[in-house]
Amino acid sequence: MEWLGHATTRFTHSPTPLSLKKNDGSSTDLLRVCEESTPPCRLNPLLFNGHLQTFKTAFEGDGPPVFYKRKVFEAEDPVYEGSFAVDFVVPPNTDVDESLPIRTTYFKDEEFDGLASLDIRPMLINLHGLSGGSYETYLKHVLFPLVQEHETRQWEACVIISRGCAKSKITSSVLYNARATWDIRQIVKWARRTFPNRPLYGIGFSLGANILTTYIGEEGENCLLKAAVVISNPWNLESSSLALQRTWLGREIYSKTMGTNMKRLVDLHQEQLRKNTKLDFDKLHEIKYLHEFDRVVQGPTWGYPTEGAYYRDASSSDSVFAVRIPMLAINAEDDPIAINEAIPYQEVKTTPYIVLCVTSLGGHLSWRELPGGGRWHARPAINFLNTMAFDIELPPPTMANGAEHARFGPEHTAEFFPMRRKLVYNTPRRFEAGVIV
């Protein structure tokens, strides 16, 4: 049946999924919500494997017409100084700014000053994939139906732009990295102050999914998001990198393309980045692949001795243990980038807060349905978010904090801290279990 595009769908979850109460007083649980949110996965039969599904993204059109206004924020955390951009979804308009991606313009000062609201619409905070932006079609297929005018179920939304991406400027001497949770933390806190009545939700795609999962783990029970969706999360970055290097397609197509995109990003912001004395631009121009980029740029920039050390420290697979909000994770078994062997199946089984949905087909951020159709991943994501926002009475988190650990029996003293990181900043900051506080 898979040759006809009929993918199988399986769910991995805790034996005791998180209990939930509906607004009508009836009971349900996270697994049931995820199952009911997930329609059959029927994909284009001509795109019968993950490579074909993923390759198709290079030849896609503009996608749904989502309009944005951009605001540049100055980082509040001195550890990650500089500025970053956020694109807010706005009503359709005829404004044009050639310096920004399609359908995106800057907020005028008076427009942004009047953005605060006491409305109760849910707000979705988005994180895009590596070197992407708010213009990505995989993202807009989720956003477009949610932000349409609707009597009772209209959403507000914004997309946090990774520094230097989507024609944003870099104003410090460093790029973003795979565990850069600083900008989303600032925006979530800003949104909580600016829209005090809006329930906040998160969604992340690919590298953005890795960052979002890490952020939620770092926040633990203090997370201000009500629920989240992560799509095509690479989870274990070292495993994914090694898998890309094993095959010709992985190395010469995927890794080379991603490495080229990141090199182009550095070239665009070379004036600022040359202020970082740890970067060797001669070596940078010689690299071909993503892992070489991470070795030459991300390692020296952030103090990692090798790209492997960076990957192990930035991976979100162990963050699963510290998640304390309902989360739906969607992956495809045939994803050539976020590979199946990197998916934390066993880890997910230990927590009631996450349900993992894995399809047998779909590729990376693809899941292309029949010609003229949409992207399948958008449908379970939209259904889950709408259910959580409008049908479920979400309970407050119950665990102590983001550094809560698993104990190996009452007679043992060994403890596991899922959010303890190896990278420590040499600044007078206080740490708890490796998390900057």
The torsion angles phi and psi of 56, rounded to 5 degrees, stand at: -60, -25
Q: Name the token pair of 399.
A: 């665990």
Q: Nearest Cα to 201, choosing from 127, 255, 131?
A: 127
Tell me if 13 sits within 8 A of 42, measured CB to CB: no
**Any catalytic annotation for residue 364?**
yes
Told to judge if 267 belongs to the known catalytic residues of this protein, a careful annotator would answer: no
CA separation for the pair 138, 127 (Å, rounded): 12
Catalytic residue among 141, 269, 364, 377: 364
Burial of 4 (0-12, 13-18, 19+ CB in 10 A): exposed
Burial class (CB in 10 A: 0-12, 13-18, 19+), 93: exposed
The catalytic residue among 206, 241, 316, 366 is 206
Residue 381: CB partners within 8 Å, gap ≥ 6?
142, 203, 229, 231, 328, 330
Instruction: Output phi, psi for 302, to 5 deg.
Output: -105, 0
Q: Which residue has the tokens 């159709």?
A: 373
Distance (Å, whole) CA 379 – CA 436: 36
Q: Check if 316 is active-site.
A: no
Helices (H), ranges, 132-279: 137-146, 182-194, 207-219, 237-246, 248-249, 256-268, 270-273
Q: Kindly name the residue from 128, 335, 366, 377 that is annotated as catalytic.
A: 335
Measured between alpha carbons, how far is 224 from 187 in angstroms, rounded to an integer?
Answer: 11
DSSP sequence for 251-310: IIIIIHHHHHHHHHHHHHTHHHHTT-TT--HHHHHH--SHHHHIIIIIHHHHT-SSHHHH
Would you name the residues annotated as active-site residues?
A: 206, 335, 364
